[in-house]
């Protein structure tokens, strides 16, 4: 007789396995009850840790799987029909395993969070950010998930998809729970420095470091979870029923295949969106922390009190009593604290945030900073604070914009905060000169002369600046001036304090009577050396006036300006005839809406500022003329 003893023995052994193991496994697996976990049960971790993971059943499953693989070449198509479907015996056990795994994962998350000090344990690289110990544990759990499903290799594809969907959903929910607890931990530790930090801004920097670590933790979990469905094979095309032999037929739909993540999202099961939205909450928390800390330090540097009183008074600061628990630091200490915070925090943000996140944080910071600076400037102006305070505040602003806002360069360039701080930080003489530079820009924008025009010839030669006042044309008198046009030209260099001591003399032409287009034809020399000639933004101002009351009172017809740097230079006086005359439009200021004027108005204790403003208003016709001959 031709008998295959090996085949027969395997068949009989399969029958014994089915008769002995099948009812036992089914009884055990069908006896498992569904386990649910409520948040109030999280403290019962001892019970959660004692739950049986059914590892014995899993080992038995793997043994039966290996047995079928080893006997397949011998038995071929004569397998016992019950043992071919042995995985069905374990269905209840798999569901129970998923319940227990989810509960134990939650329990493990709570434990590792308590032990995590939010310091780096993984090395950062180009493809993976740094993470702390608790995230390392979560990544290990995800790795165990992969190993489990790879070894299980559940043969029923439809059921496998359901199991994977449940498993991935559970791990995503655990990660959201973990992320929420992470943020709560950071908030609980807010204001406390780490053991390794000390010195200036230790608590604030420690909070920033922790929050950046939390963001990095969540980012790496999102990346891992996004890859998980593909790695577990969830993206395989769903099988459809074929013949009665259990074969599957691949769906040949022409629709573009979705990625594993898109499939899960379409099935409305993967809560990874919740984790992503939580990540945005973390970014907002970082932005709020950086914004509030920077704002508090800036306010302290500006020494602005809420009640508008003295900086050394009892009023609390705009910062809400940021330094209320300590004696008030000096302005120098406040500036140093701010500088240290800016340098350290800006470095941490650039290293710990993506370009998109950095832009979001800087946008929030800039919005708050712009508002805060505007409030401080207004309060300092109301208090008529010292020049030193504005200079200190300008220094703070420059420090901030130097280290922050690299993604907002265009926004910063369009802001007026820097210009206002720079203006209010100037001395009175600097402010007056800034005003004249504004007048030069207005003159350059004139399309038609408003009050006539003046023609001159100017050049530099070795003995100084040569000025020849040739003529004026179409002079227009002030509306309230009822006398004849008796005009003359005054010549000044600006700023006067930059041209040595004693100051250069004020030059003046002879008066030309009863003429709206007078010819002066007078020459003057100002002893200006090459160094003074090269002064940045130095100006030559020519002011056309009319006199009345025997010369005791003057009114302005118009003024014009020349930049000294634009005046040509000749090597010898014999070359002067080559210099062409220049015709310049005459105009008067029509508004005092200027940061320079605002700053000058704030200095009513300064005699130079008061006199300048008085003459400016006289030029504009909004103040009466006096017998004073002080010249602008």
How far, in Å, CA of 620 to CA of 631, rounded? 15
Among residues 61, 96, 115, the one where a domain terminates is: 115
Mean pLDDT on 197-211: 84
The 10s digit of each residue's pLDDT in 275-313 is 778 888 899 999 999 999 999 999 988 875 433 333 333
Among residues 115, 130, 165, the one where a domain terminates is: 115
Tell me what pLDDT residue 459 has: 92
How far, in Å, CA of 312 to CA of 305, rounded? 9
Using the predicted structure, report yes or no on whether residue 522 has a pLDDT greater than 90.
yes
Tell me what pLDDT residue 629 has: 34
Sign of CA dihedral 521, 527, 530, 533: negative
The 10s digit of each residue's pLDDT in 116-139 is 888 887 555 555 568 888 888 888
**Cross-strand pairs, 457:** 468
Mean pLDDT on 11-19: 85
Mean pLDDT on 258-275: 52
State both tokens at 269: 């099961």
Task: Specify burial of residue 58 (Cβ count, 10 A radius: 0-12, 13-18, 19+).
Answer: middle
**DSSP three-state, residue 555:** strand
Q: Tell which residue, 606, 607, 483, has the closest CA to residue 550.
A: 483
Q: Residue 242's Cα: distance from chain center in Å?
A: 58
Place of tokens 């047995």: 67
Q: What's the residue count for the chain? A: 632
How far, in Å, CA of 31 to CA of 113, rounded? 34
Phi-psi region of 320 (alpha: psi -120 to 50; beta: other; left: phi over 0): left
Q: Are 494 and 541 in contact (CB under 8 A)?
A: yes
Q: Is residue 396 in a domain?
A: no
Q: Give the H/E segment covering residue 281.
A: helix 272-302
CA distances from 584 to 137, 202, 440, 478, 587 (A): 78, 61, 11, 19, 10
Q: Is residue 525 in a domain?
A: yes
Place of tokens 């998350």: 109
Domain that holds residue 10: 1-115
Using the predicted structure, report yes or no on whether residue 324 has a pLDDT greater than 60.
no
- Name the least confident of 161-175, 337-351, 437-451: 161-175
Q: What φ, ψ does residue 570 adopt, rounded to 5°?
A: -120, 150
User: For 236, which DSSP code?
Assistant: S
Among residues 82, 115, 148, the one where a domain terminates is: 115
If DSSP states are collapsed to H, E and C, what string results for 437-461? HHHHHHHHCCCCCCCCEEEEEEEEE
Q: Are 554 and 499 in contact (CB under 8 A)?
A: no
Q: Is residue 44 in a domain?
A: yes
Q: Is residue 135 in a domain?
A: no
The 10s digit of each residue's pLDDT in 329-373 is 788 888 999 999 999 999 999 998 999 999 999 999 999 999 999
Tell me what pLDDT residue 396 has: 92
The 10s digit of each residue's pLDDT in 564-605 is 989 998 888 788 888 899 999 999 887 777 888 888 888 888
Contact residues for 102 (Cβ-Cβ < 8 A; gap 6+): 37, 170, 173, 174
Angle, to 10 degrees, between the axis of helix 5-31 and the axis of helix 91-115?
60
Q: Give the whole-number percent of the chain exceeding pLDDT 90.
A: 26
Q: Are 596 and 431 in contact (CB under 8 A)?
A: yes
Mean pLDDT on 137-145: 88
Q: Is residue 500 in a domain?
A: yes
Which of 220-250 are b and which e, b meaning 16 or more Cβ less than 10 Å from the residue's Cβ? bbbebbbebbeebebbbeebeeeeeeeeeee
> How many helices (H) and strands (E) in the chain?
19, 10
**DSSP three-state, residue 53:** coil
User: For 574, which DSSP code?
Assistant: G
How far, in Å, CA of 326 to CA of 246, rounded? 78
CATH of the domain at 473: 2.60.40.150
Q: Give the whole-number percent of the chain exceeding pLDDT 70.
A: 80
Domain total for the chain?
Answer: 2
DSSP character string of 290-339? HHHHHHHHHHHHHT-BTTS--TTSSPPBTTSSTTTTSPPPPHHHHHHHHH
Using the predicted structure, report yes or no on whether residue 227 has a pLDDT greater than 50.
yes
**Cross-strand pairs, 555:** 546
Q: Residue 354's Cα: distance from chain center in Å?
A: 11
Tell me what pLDDT residue 194 has: 61
Q: Bigger pLDDT: 426 or 386? A: 426
pLDDT-based confidence at residue 269 (cuts at 50, 70, 90): very low
Q: Are 561 and 443 in contact (CB under 8 A)?
A: yes
The secondary structure of the chain in percent helix, strand, coil, rounded to multiples of 5, reads: 55, 10, 35
Sign of CA dihedral 206, 216, 133, 176: positive
**DSSP three-state, residue 523:** strand
Q: Are 546 and 487 in contact (CB under 8 A)?
A: yes
How far, in Å, CA of 532 to CA of 66, rounded? 97
Q: Is residue 175 in a domain?
A: no
Q: What φ, ψ does residue 255 adopt, rounded to 5°?
A: -65, 145
The 10s digit of each residue's pLDDT in 492-506 is 999 988 887 777 888
Q: Is residue 572 in a domain?
A: yes
Strand pairing class (248-250; 239-241): antiparallel
Q: Is residue 307 in a domain?
A: no
């Amino acid at each position: 007789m031709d008998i295959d003893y090996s085949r027969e023995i395997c068949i009989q052994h399969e029958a014994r396995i089915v008769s002995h193991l099948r009812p036992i496994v089914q009884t055990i697996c069908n006896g498992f009850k569904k386990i649910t976990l409520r948040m109030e049960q999280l403290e019962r971790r001892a019970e959660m840790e004692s739950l049986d993971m059914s590892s014995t059943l899993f080992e038995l499953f793997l043994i039966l799987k290996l047995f079928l693989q080893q006997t397949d070449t011998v038995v071929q198509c004569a397998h016992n029909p019950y043992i071919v479907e042995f995985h069905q015996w374990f269905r209840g056990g798999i569901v129970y395993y998923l319940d227990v795994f989810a509960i134990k994962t939650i329990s493990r998350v709570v434990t590792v969070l308590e032990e995590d000090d939010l310091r780096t344990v993984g090395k950062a690289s180009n493809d993976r950010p740094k993470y702390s110990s608790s995230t390392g544990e979560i990544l290990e759990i995800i790795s165990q998930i992969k190993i489990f499903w790879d070894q299980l290799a559940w043969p029923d594809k439809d059921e496998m998809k359901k199991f994977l969907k449940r498993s991935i959903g559970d791990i995503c929910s655990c990660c959201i729970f973990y992320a929420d607890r992470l943020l709560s931990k950071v908030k609980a530790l807010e204001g406390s420095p780490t053991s390794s930090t000390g010195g200036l801004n230790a608590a604030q920097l420690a909070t920033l470091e922790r929050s950046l670590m939390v963001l990095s933790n969540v980012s790496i979990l999102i990346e891992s979870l996004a890859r998980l469905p593909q790695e577990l094979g969830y993206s395989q095309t769903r099988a459809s029923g074929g013949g009665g032999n259990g074969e599957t037929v691949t769906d040949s739909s022409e629709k573009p295949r979705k990625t594993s993540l898109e499939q899960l999202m379409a099935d409305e099961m993967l809560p990874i969106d919740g984790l992503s939205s939580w990540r945005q909450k973390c970014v907002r928390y970082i932005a709020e922390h950086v914004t509030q800390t920077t704002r508090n330090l800036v306010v302290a540097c500006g020494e602005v009190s809420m009640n508008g009183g003295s900086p050394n008074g009892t009023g609390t600061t705009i910062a809400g009593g940021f330094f209320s628990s300590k004696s008030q630091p000096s302005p120098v200490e406040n500036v140093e604290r701010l500088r240290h915070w800016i340098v350290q925090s800006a470095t941490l943000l650039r290293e710990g945030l993506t370009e998109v996140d950095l832009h979001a944080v800087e946008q929030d910071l800039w919005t708050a900073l712009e508002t805060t600076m505007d409030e401080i400037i207004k309060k300092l102006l109301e208090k008529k604070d010292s020049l030193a305070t504005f200079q200190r505040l300008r220094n703070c602003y420059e420090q901030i914009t130097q280290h922050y806002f690299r993604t907002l360069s265009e926004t910063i360039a369009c802001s007026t905060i820097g210009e206002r701080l720079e203006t209010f930080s100037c001395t009175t003489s600097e402010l007056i000169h800034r005003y004249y530079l504004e007048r030069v820009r207005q003159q350059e924008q004139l399309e038609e002369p408003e009050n006539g025009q003046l023609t001159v010839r100017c050049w530099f030669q070795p003995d100084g600046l040569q000025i020849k006042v040739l003529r004026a044309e179409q002079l227009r008198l002030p509306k309230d001036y009822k006398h004849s046009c008796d005009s003359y030209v005054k010549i000044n260099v600006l700023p006067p304090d930059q041209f040595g001591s004693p100051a250069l003399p004020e030059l003046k032409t002879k008066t030309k009577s009863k003429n709206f287009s007078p010819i002066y034809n007078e020459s003057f020399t100002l002893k200006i050396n090459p160094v003074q000639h090269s002064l940045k933004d130095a100006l030559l101002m020519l002011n056309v006036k009319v006199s009345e009351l025997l010369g005791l009172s003057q009114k302005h017809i118009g003024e014009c300006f020349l930049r000294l740097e634009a005046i040509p230079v000749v090597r010898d006086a014999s070359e002067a005839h080559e210099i062409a005359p220049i015709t310049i439009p005459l105009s008067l200021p029509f508004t005092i809406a200027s940061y320079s004027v605002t700053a000058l108005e704030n200095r009513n204790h300064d005699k130079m500022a008061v006199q300048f403003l008085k003459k400016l208003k006289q030029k504009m016709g909004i103040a009466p003329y006096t017998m004073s001959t002080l010249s602008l």
